[in-house]
Chains A and B, each alone.
Chain A
């Protein structure tokens, strides 16, 4: 055990004998040092770097492009996009499913892994949750824009109206309204609750008066009282317990949008688990796409270590295999069912006019990610970054294949038409990417991108005097 002398020296992370040189938190850090490191990114001087300004500016331009598209959409209607009958869903719903899927990894990390006591989640959960919220915001815009008259969105809600009408509660599209709005609200609450003690830290450390007041208002007078902590921790566990089934339900309901219809290629019972696995797959890819540049640019390698990259790559590999199984099973069921329309749909996917999309999807989602079986690839920043981008693209193509390819080749040959995206289809998609990244740039500049409190707790738990110190007894010093 640690000697009485060293105990007095305060709390510092020490090497973890189980993982040796591969810890989830580099040794030597203290409560003060992690607080200083994370909060200085937000309140330190000179952090509005040229790189940040450049990135934020590009994102801002894309957001303005989105504004342009929405204005044009309001004037001319959804005809500016390539959609028509039979492919009425096109890019808008593809992007909706893609964005909302990305959000799922954030909730999984912040809620599910909290319940499972996975300590490695600590340094990535805050920005993964932020990613969730921004992705759900982007996702939520698409169905509204796709209505063509977004200002009438409230027709979707059960509000008292003079026509005495109700939304169709038997429709999965209405379930979607409830699922996505609940998901956004609960994610935002969970994120904000997690931020309260960190905002108090920023309030106490900020030097500028405006910052002090702003952080002071949002920290709501948090003072870290023992009873407050007890209620706070209980509330966090309860929220995690609520958010975990919620995240599974959201993509299940999204998959109902398809399975409850009778379109060949949609009407399948495998969709809910398949969609949830795909969502986690693409979500972790996006977490890595964000985490790898962030840790490099802000020198966070001590907190987001190689082991984090390794674990996230393994999660991607595992969910990727579930997704691969779903693809195979979907195709097998189409042939085994002996339903000629289902069979025709899958033959069309593989050999039809959109076949190049299908095979790109198979290459991006199934073949290339097999690189992650190699430990070296999982720990090589650039390789992992490229693989994560490839999976993001692959998952977008998957939704394109499910939506557009299925719709363009329904029952009757007289209804077989191709969908071609217009420049405004691409502009809308690029615009939401801009919105997502602008929000993310603002987030890393104004809020702590790693949970300071949870990092401090982790420092304490892995320190010599921490509650788990007896698990890894230190040999007496020579």
Chain B
């Protein structure tokens, strides 16, 4: 890909309400490959750019399940199979004593899976991304909101898309170099 290839077009807004309205209109206009960037989480914005659901909680559940099973199995295996000690005929599988470790490892597994899944699904860490090529984009972590239409969209046409974005009454429209 050559150095000046186009990643897309980006429009800048002042408030979450403006970028949300703009994202909805962009989607109504038929664009599908869009993304929005904001300094705060904006309710409804992810849905407006086509995000449907996240599988993070599935991973949390699986991680927790795996952690819990590991904890219980480890205690049971150590005391019943690997190193059984008969203490006054008490049951080897004294399961109430395994509960604290089972519980702690459930939480540990769930938390690790949550964080790893969240980062992996977000594609982070990711040191380079074309949006960082726009100078004004540094303000997206302070108080500006951005809406981006990617050049891969089937309706993308530099002139028409630019005109469309300008019609959304933004602060400015920028081209994003690849």
Contacts and interface: CB of A to CB of B under 8 A. Distances in A.
A226 B129 contact: no
Given A185-B108, A245-B107, A201 B118 contact: no
A189 B115 CA distance: 7
A224 B10 CA distance: 14
A44 interface: no
B120 to A, nearest CB: 10
A10 to B, nearest CB: 6
Q: Which of A196, A204, A230, A234 has the most CB of B within 10 A?
A: A230
Interface in A426-478: 453, 456-457, 460, 465, 467
Contacts of B14: 8, 10
A117 interface: no
Given A201-B39, A221-B126, A221-B129, A182 B105 contact: yes
Interface residues of A, number: 66
Nearest to A229: B41
Contacts of B137: 223
B16 interface: yes
Contact of B40 (A221, A243, A456): A456
Contact of A226 (B51, B79, B110): B51
Contact of A460 (B40, B119, B121): B40
Given A221-B127, A467-B43, A35 B142 contact: yes
A154 interface: no
A203 B56 CA distance: 27
Contacts of A243: 107, 111
Contact of A456 (B39, B107, B124): B39
A10 B111 contact: no
B122 to A, nearest CB: 5
A140 to B, nearest CB: 14
Contact of A32 (B37, B140, B142): B142
Interface string A169-208: 1101011001100100110011011001100110111000
B51 A230 contact: yes
B57 interface: yes
Interface stretch (A69-77, A158-166, A373-381, A406-414): A158-166
A64 interface: no
Interface stretch (B1-9, B94-102, B153-161): B94-102
Interface in B7-39: 14-17, 23, 35-39
Contact of A178 (B23, B78, B101, B125): B101
A247 to B, nearest CB: 10
Interface string B31-69: 000011111111101101101001011001000100000
Contact of A170 (B35, B79, B119): B79
Contacts of B49: 226-227
A201 B141 contact: yes
Given A233-B41, A234-B54, A186 B108 contact: yes
A441 B3 CA distance: 45
B56 A235 contact: yes
Interface string A243-255: 1011001000100
A220 B126 CA distance: 6
A228 interface: yes
A238 interface: yes
Interface in B145-165: none
30 contacts: A11-B15, A32-B142, A35-B141, A36-B142, A164-B82, A167-B78, A178-B71, A182-B105, A189-B112, A190-B111, A200-B141, A204-B141, A205-B141, A216-B127, A223-B137, A223-B140, A224-B141, A225-B36, A226-B38, A226-B45, A231-B56, A231-B118, A234-B57, A235-B56, A238-B110, A242-B111, A242-B114, A243-B107, A246-B104, A453-B41
Interface of A: 8, 10-11, 30-32, 35-36, 158, 164-167, 169-170, 172, 174-175, 178-179, 182, 185-186, 189-190, 192-193, 196-197, 200-201, 203-205, 216, 220-235, 238-239, 242-243, 245-246, 249, 253, 256, 453, 456-457, 460, 465, 467
Given A182-B107, A204-B139, A453-B41, 7 more contacts: A10-B15, A164-B83, A175-B100, A197-B141, A204-B141, A230-B54, A242-B64
Interface of B: 14-17, 23, 35-43, 45-46, 48-49, 51, 54, 56-57, 60, 64, 71, 74-75, 78-79, 82-83, 94, 97-98, 100-101, 103-105, 107-108, 110-112, 114-115, 117-119, 121-122, 124-129, 131-132, 137-143
